[in-house]
Amino acid sequence: MTGRQPVAQKPQVIRPNQVIGWTAAVVAVVAATAGSTAVDLPWGGPLLWQVFCGAMMLLLLDALWRHDFRPRLLWNAGGLVLVDRDGAHRYAWSDVRTVSARGNTISIRTPEGLLQTHFDRPWWLARLRPSIRDLPETIQARLRTAHEAAVAGSAEEPPPAPRVRRPVALYLLAAAGLLAIVGTTILT
C-alpha cells in the first residue's frame, strides 16, 4: 500500500486594494510634478526645490510599494506568512498561540511576540455592504479553521514567503514623474 502525500492547498491571501494603491501612486507623481513648479526658493533657486520634489516623490512611491502593493497575509493548513514593514514572518500553526481580528487589524500572537497587519475596509463601504462590514469576522473564522485543521493533523508546510518585487509599472511611473519634473525645469 502506498502512502499518499497530502495535496498542497493554495494559500489564501489578504492583499491591499490595488486601485487605491495605484491611484495614490499617480497622485504622488502629479503632486510632485505640480509642486516642482509652484515654488521658487530665494535661497536655492528652482533647481533645489525640484530635486526635493523628485526625491519626495521617489520616497512616496517606495512607501506605497511597501504598504499598498505587497500581500499582507498568506495562510494555508500548514501555517501562515505575515508581511509587514520588517519583512516576511513565516510560522507553522503550531507556533501560533492566538489569532484575532478587530476593526481593520489582524493580530497574531507567536512566541516572539504580537504581530499585526491591516487590511482595507473603507468605513463608508462597511456601512453599505454586510460582506464588507463582517470582513474581520470572516477573516478570523477562516484563519481559525486553518489553525484547527493543522491541530487535527495537517502535514502541510506553511506557505512560502512571497517573493515580492516592485512592479515594472511603478518604475515606469517614477521615471515619467522624474522626466516631467526635469521637463518643467527646462521649460521654466
Whether pTM > 0.95 for this model: the answer is no
Q: Can you give the pLDDT at residue 4?
A: 46
Cell readout for 164 is: 515580492
Q: Can you give the pLDDT at residue 172?
A: 93
Q: Can you give the pLDDT at residue 2?
A: 46
C-alpha 30/C-alpha 57 separation (Å) is 9
Q: Can you give the pLDDT at residue 154?
A: 64
CATH, residue 83:
2.30.29
Q: Is 121 helix (H, G, I), strand (E, B) or coil?
A: coil
Same domain, 143 and 108: yes
Q: Structural domain tally of the chain?
A: 2
C-alpha 160/C-alpha 95 separation (Å) is 16
| Assigned domain for 97 exists | yes
Contact between residue 156 and residue 5 where contact means Cβ atoms under 8 Å apart:
no
Q: Which of 109, 110, 94, 106 is nearest to 141 (CA)?
A: 106
| Assigned domain for 5 exists | no
Q: Can you give the pLDDT at residue 184?
A: 74
Q: Can you give the pLDDT at residue 51?
A: 85
Q: Which residue has cell 501555517?
A: 79
CB burial of residue 16 (10 Å; 0-12, 13-18, 19+): middle
Q: Would you write out the chain's pLDDT as a tens digit for each of its 188 residues?
A: 444 445 556 788 888 878 888 999 999 999 998 888 877 666 666 778 888 889 999 999 998 888 888 888 888 888 888 888 778 888 888 888 888 888 788 888 988 899 888 776 666 666 777 766 777 788 888 888 888 888 777 667 788 877 777 889 989 999 999 998 888 767 76
Same domain, 77 and 157: yes
Q: Can you give the pLDDT at residue 115?
A: 87
> For residue 16, what are the CA distances in angstroms to 65, 91, 154?
10, 21, 29
Cell readout for 136 is: 474581520
Same domain, 137 and 84: yes
